[in-house]
Chains A and B, each alone.
Chain A
Amino acid sequence: MSRRHFVFLCLLPLSIFTLAFLAIPLGRLILASGESDRGWGIYLQILQTPRYLSTLLQTVVVSLAVTVAALAISTTAGLYLVRNRFVGRNVLLSILTLPLAFPGVVVGFMIILLGGRQGLVNQLLPGYWVFAYSITGLFLGYLYFSIPRVLLTVMAAAEKLDPALEEAARTLGAPPWRIVVDVLLPALAPALIAAGAIAFATAMGAFGTAFTLATDIDVLPMVIYTEFTLSANIAMASALSVVLGLVTWAMLLIARSFSGGAVAAGG
């Protein structure tokens, strides 16, 4: 068997699988989006129908808010954990990365336990504090699974930073906050952009969390789901999926060009 044959054999199973279950289905999905009466005009219809447009905007706004919050929290915590060694550090780190393996439904349930009708906040505080099923709940749910992902990216980048940079800034007389602003954040910028793009894409596509919490909030994945299952509007479900897929894919391409790491989009 020559090397050429062997290379061919190595790629054959993957190629068949990818062709049959990724390339052709995605092609079918794109074609299906143009099969309604409106043809390819359906993409214009998304922008002209207030319900779809507001859903799209709402999804983007929530995802952006989650991205900003997760970046702020995870960068603060991540830098703290990289720069300080103390007893219990590993425990904190384990807690912060635990939700990595939680599916979106479980994250939704965690938010219900916190802010649902029978949730902790409602039990402890006087007054009727139920936020799980509102946009706040969705925000917190997305934040729940975004914190670990952003944290890992930021910490990986921070550990690679040359400590001499910070020492050099100190010998030049910079106070701690200036070191953060002038040295650490600029050095971390690529990692922060990458982590932000990942967090944004993940939030945009998150279905499980919204599915568990959703009562009256329209986010894109939920609308796709209802269009498909309840309205049997296959073309619109497909078109919205294509739009969603393009947005998340573009975001992750940005992330990859800045970091090159593989981080799971899921939730």
Chain B
Amino acid sequence: MRHVARHVPLAVTLLACAFLLIPIIQSILAGLTVNYFRGLSSGLTLKWIGQVWQLYSGSIFLSIWLALACLVVTLVLGVPAAYVLARNPGRLSRVLEEFISLPLAIPGLALALALLQLYGSVQGFRTSWTFILVGHVLYTLPFMVRSVLSVLAAIDLKTLEEGAASLGAGPARRFIDIVVPNAMPGILAGALTVVTLSIGEFNLTWMLHTPYLKTLPVGLADSYASMRLEVASAYTLVFFVMIVPLLMAMQWASARAQRIMQ
């Protein structure tokens, strides 16, 4: 009895792995087999991938473009702001940090509704890719700010800056020479998180997109609803190929930032 009990945690771990992994394998196989219902015996093919490329390459490129634009915007908005929050740790800073973190807490659907009601009738904006970009920046900005903030909070930034000031460096120079280089591990981890999350964002994007502007996840939803299983699986496979390396890089960068902070 004791012997059996000892293996329960391992069994739970393995079952959880199986639950998460089996459908992933299924979708990879389905995306590469000629006919999923006849099984692997029907042979392997890249036909479905090719079809995905024909149908959805536009949304793949739009997603990459959006992710990069989102990265640039979150860097410009987030890094200087994180620096100010790190240098002025007070009530006001906490309130501001909490406020910009609201999009982590409020479901994307509600945020999208809010944006649509305010800007839905602004024609040039509503139909442009920048409307989706706003949603992505809203959602990813807190990750950038917090990632940079946690690294900056762990070093003695105030004294380093005083050192630079005593040597004649003004505020802008100190930011470029001292703050940014020392925040780099946090900026890198934040950047990878932003890109990963932006490429996978669906909840906001689904509400904000127009028929001419479909991102990768919107295209996925579209293929799940209207394409045969093999095409939907092949498209999911393409998504995995993009997102899994990003996820691993993101976890590596976050672990590295954590290590440096200690």
Query: Measuring CB to CB, which residues of chain A are less than 8 angstroms from any residue of chain B?
Result: 1-3, 5-7, 9-11, 13-14, 17-18, 21-26, 28-29, 32, 73-74, 76-77, 79-81, 92, 94-106, 108-114, 118, 120, 140, 143-144, 147-148, 177, 201, 204-208, 211-212, 221, 224-225, 228, 234, 237-238, 241-242, 244-245, 248-249, 251-253, 262, 264-266
- Complex partner residue of B104 from A23, A96, A111, A262, CB under 8 angstroms: A262
Question: Which 8 residue pairs spanning A and B have beta carbons closest together?
Answer: A205-B107, A10-B80, A6-B171, A25-B114, A241-B110, A110-B23, A80-B9, A29-B114
A245 & B105 in contact (Cβ 8 Å cutoff) = yes
B99 & A18 in contact (Cβ 8 Å cutoff) = yes
Measured between beta carbons, the chain B residues less than 8 angstroms from A17 are 77, 137, 141
B171 & A14 in contact (Cβ 8 Å cutoff) = no
A92 & B17 in contact (Cβ 8 Å cutoff) = yes
C-alpha spacing A34/B232, complex, angstroms: 41
Contacts A101-B243, A109-B236, A207-B109 known; A25 to B104 CB distance under 8 Å?
A: no
Question: Which residues, 1 to 44 on B, are CB-close (under 8 Å) to A?
Answer: 5, 8-10, 12-14, 16-17, 19-24, 26-27, 30, 36-37
Is B185 on the interface with A (CB-CB < 8 A)? no
C-alpha spacing A221/B221, complex, angstroms: 16
**Which of B20, B78, B229, B251: most chain A Cβ within 10 A?**
B20
B12 & A73 in contact (Cβ 8 Å cutoff) = yes
Q: Chain B: how many interface residues by the 8 Å CB criterion? A: 83
- Complex partner residue of A237 from B26, B84, B113, CB under 8 angstroms: B113
- Complex partner residue of B202 from A103, A112, A237, A241, CB under 8 angstroms: A103
C-alpha spacing A114/B100, complex, angstroms: 38
A252 & B109 in contact (Cβ 8 Å cutoff) = no
C-alpha spacing A6/B174, complex, angstroms: 11
Question: Which residues, 69 to 83 on B, are CB-close (under 8 Å) to A?
Answer: 76-78, 80-81, 83
Is B65 on the interface with A (CB-CB < 8 A)? no
Query: Measuring CB to CB, which residues of chain B are less than 8 angstroms from any residue of chain A?
Result: 5, 8-10, 12-14, 16-17, 19-24, 26-27, 30, 36-37, 76-78, 80-81, 83-84, 87-88, 99-111, 113-115, 117-119, 134, 137-139, 141-143, 146, 170-172, 175, 196-197, 200-203, 206, 217, 220-221, 224, 229, 232-233, 236, 239, 243-244, 246-248, 250-251
Min CB distance B45 to A, Å, is 18
Contact residues of A: prevailing secondary structure: helix
C-alpha spacing A28/B115, complex, angstroms: 9
Measured between beta carbons, the chain A residues less than 8 angstroms from B217 are 103, 105-106, 208
Measured between beta carbons, the chain B residues less than 8 angstroms from A211 are 206, 221
B23 & A28 in contact (Cβ 8 Å cutoff) = no
A25 & B118 in contact (Cβ 8 Å cutoff) = yes
Closest A residue to B229 by CB, please name it.
Answer: A118
Closest B residue to A263 by CB, please name it.
Answer: B104
Measured between beta carbons, the chain A residues less than 8 angstroms from B27 are 109-110, 113
New contact pairs (16) apart from A207-B203, A211-B221, CB-CB < 8 Å: A9-B80, A11-B80, A14-B141, A26-B102, A95-B21, A103-B200, A103-B203, A106-B217, A118-B229, A140-B19, A208-B217, A221-B107, A224-B109, A234-B117, A245-B107, A262-B101
